[in-house]
């Protein structure tokens, strides 16, 4: 917990705190007047103006003509004034998701908008950790300009793993990792000396979704790829549980299934296996399966119906324990849900003797890149916080950006 007394006793910390607060406020409002910023910060115009001047000189904030922007809440009608907004290209943040059968990566700018995203097929379980990380770095760095790399302010890595707060992977059973210093490996592979954060893939997915849709209420996040990962967000804060494993319903044994876990019943692997057996082709993939479900091909519809029943059961158990307001589905398998949503709802209704509240169930806007996006957002979040070394100089002012 931050010692507010010590912050208050240090002019440098006060300055740093004001800089961070101003950036957070401008980011959350996207565009706002100087008067509104001063009001939000609880500062007079003179003090707020000094902060704005430092951020402008540092290259992080710019003025714009308010005529093309949404008016701030206190702006008067009439001629638009000069508005403040972040400089999107002032900083970039990289996110890499190392999956079981793929690697995806994304770059977001200071406005948290995606600038670049890439994905490739990759057999992680048959590669070393170093090879997987190096491949992810090569995938995204090759798509970044030199200026983006130079202005990169952080690297986030997500994986289907149990991860300690220090970035050490204790266990990743589905890809065969155990006792892996993932943060150190990421630092060695990345071409810039930047802060690095490592997170479970479902938790990263949860962080990314909260960036897009807000943070109110209780939300359960499920990433459905070869395995099924889970994360829980409560009013914008990630709930990790006692050992960092909260929300991981994919590992739950399902009664009457012959000892199978949820991830073996609703993950990508079971769908592909069943579909290949049904069509008699070993090269059939998930996109073909989804296409056949959409076209109402009987064999594919039968598989989808079984999947919807298992998903409904999994969600019911999670709802009894967590009581979420919202459930967000991600990963390549999530694309199946909209086609069978009515069947999932019917199975959930049939499975309740007592009518519990039913949460909203949605598919993430960018389900396949959700975890990579969230990994990048972790570093964006860090940048707009007191952890940012750029704002921890002798006077607390932001370091000036180097010329392009």
Instruction: Check pLDDT > 50 for residue 403.
Output: no
* Cα 69 versus chain centre, distance: 27
**Mean predicted confidence (pLDDT) in 97-119:** 95
Residue 394: per-residue pLDDT: 56
Domain range annotation of the chain: 4-86, 91-206+369-383, 216-364
Residue among 186, 182, 184 nearest 152 (CA): 186
CA distance readout (Å), 179 to 159, 170, 171, 172, 183: 14, 5, 6, 9, 12
Name the strand (E) or helix (H) holding 219: strand 218-224
Degrees to nearest 5, angle at CA 154 with 153 and 160: 165
Instruction: Check: CB of residue 29 under 8 Å from CB of residue 386.
Output: no
- Please list, in sequence order, all residues whose beta carbon lies within 8 angstroms of the beta carbon of residue 39, skipping any fewer than 6 positions away: 74
Residue among 2, 10, 5 nearest 396 (CA): 10
**Mean predicted confidence (pLDDT) in 191-214:** 91
Instruction: Check pLDDT > 70 for residue 396.
Output: no
pTM above 0.75, yes or no: yes
Token pair of 231 as six digits: 């994360």
Q: Give CATH superfamily name and number for 91-206+369-383.
A: ATPase, nucleotide binding domain (3.30.420.40)
Instruction: Check: CB of residue 163 under 8 Å from CB of residue 200.
Output: yes
Residue 242: per-residue pLDDT: 85
DSSP string, 11-45: HHHHHHHHHHHHHHHHHHHSSB-HHHHHHHHT--H
Domains 91-206+369-383 and 216-364 fall in the same CATH topology: yes
CA distance readout (Å), 154 to 50, 111, 134, 373: 27, 14, 16, 13
Residue 298: per-residue pLDDT: 97
Domain at 4-86: CATH code: 1.10.10.10
High-pLDDT (> 70) share of the chain, %: 91
Instruction: Check: CB of residue 392 under 8 Å from CB of residue 16.
Output: yes
Instruction: Check: CB of residue 268 under 8 Å from CB of residue 332.
Output: yes
Domain at 216-364: CATH code: 3.30.420.40
Instruction: Check pLDDT > 50 for residue 404.
Output: no
Instruction: Check pLDDT > 90 for residue 112.
Output: yes
Residue 364: per-residue pLDDT: 86
Which region among 96-110, 253-267, 374-388 has the lowest average model confidence (pLDDT)? Answer: 253-267
Computed on alpha carbons and rounded to an integer, the radius of gyration of the chain in Å comes to 23
Q: Mean pLDDT highest for which of 4-18, 51-65, 178-192, 314-328?
A: 178-192
Strands 61-65 and 162-163, sheet pairing:
unpaired
What CA–CA distance (Å, rounded) separates 274 from 271? 5
């Amino acid at each position: 917990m931050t010692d507010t007394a010590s912050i208050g006793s240090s002019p440098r910390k006060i300055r740093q705190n004001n800089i961070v607060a101003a950036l957070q406020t401008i980011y959350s409002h996207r565009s706002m007047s100087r008067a509104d910023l001063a009001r939000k910060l609880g500062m007079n115009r003179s003090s707020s103006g000094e902060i704005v001047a430092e951020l402008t000189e540092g290259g992080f904030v710019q003025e714009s003509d308010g005529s093309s922007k949404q008016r701030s809440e206190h702006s008067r009608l009439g001629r638009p004034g000069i508005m403040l907004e972040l400089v999107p290209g002032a900083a970039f943040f990289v996110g890499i998701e190392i999956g079981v059968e793929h690697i995806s990566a994304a770059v977001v700018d200071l406005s948290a908008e995606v600038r670049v995203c890439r994905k490739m097929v990759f057999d992680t379980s048959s590669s070393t950790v170093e090879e997987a990380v190096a491949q992810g770095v090569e995938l995204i760095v090759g798509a970044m300009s030199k200026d983006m790399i130079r202005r990169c302010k952080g690297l986030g890595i997500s994986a289907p793993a149990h991860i300690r707060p220090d970035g050490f992977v204790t266990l990743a059973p589905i890809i065969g990792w155990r006792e892996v210093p993932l943060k150190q490996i990421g630092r060695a592979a990345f071409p810039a000396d930047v802060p690095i954060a490592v997170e479970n893939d479902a938790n990263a997915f949860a962080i990314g979704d909260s960036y897009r849709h807000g943070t109110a209420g209780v939300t359960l996040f499920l990433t459905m790829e070869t395995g099924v990962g889970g994360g829980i967000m409560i009013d914008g804060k990630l709930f990790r549980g006692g050992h960092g494993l909260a929300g991981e319903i994919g590992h739950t044994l399902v009664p009457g299934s012959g000892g199978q876990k949820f991830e073996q019943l609703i993950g990508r692997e079971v769908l592909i296996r069943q579909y290949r057996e049904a069509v008699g082709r070993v090269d059939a993939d998930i996109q073909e399966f989804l296409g056949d479900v959409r076209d109402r091909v009987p064999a594919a519809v039968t598989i989808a119906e079984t999947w919807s029943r298992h998903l409904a059961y999994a969600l019911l158990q999670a709802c009894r324990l967590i009581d979420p307001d919202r459930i967000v589905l991600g990963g390549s398998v999530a694309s199946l849900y909209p086609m069978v949503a009515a069947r999932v709802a019917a199975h959930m209704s049939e499975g309740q003797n007592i009518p519990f509240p039913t949460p909203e169930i949605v598919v993430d806007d960018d389900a396949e890149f959700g975890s990579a996006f969230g990994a990048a957002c972790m570093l964006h979040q860090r940048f707009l916080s007191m952890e940012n070394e750029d704002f921890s100089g002798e006077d607390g002012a932001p370091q000036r950006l180097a010329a392009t």
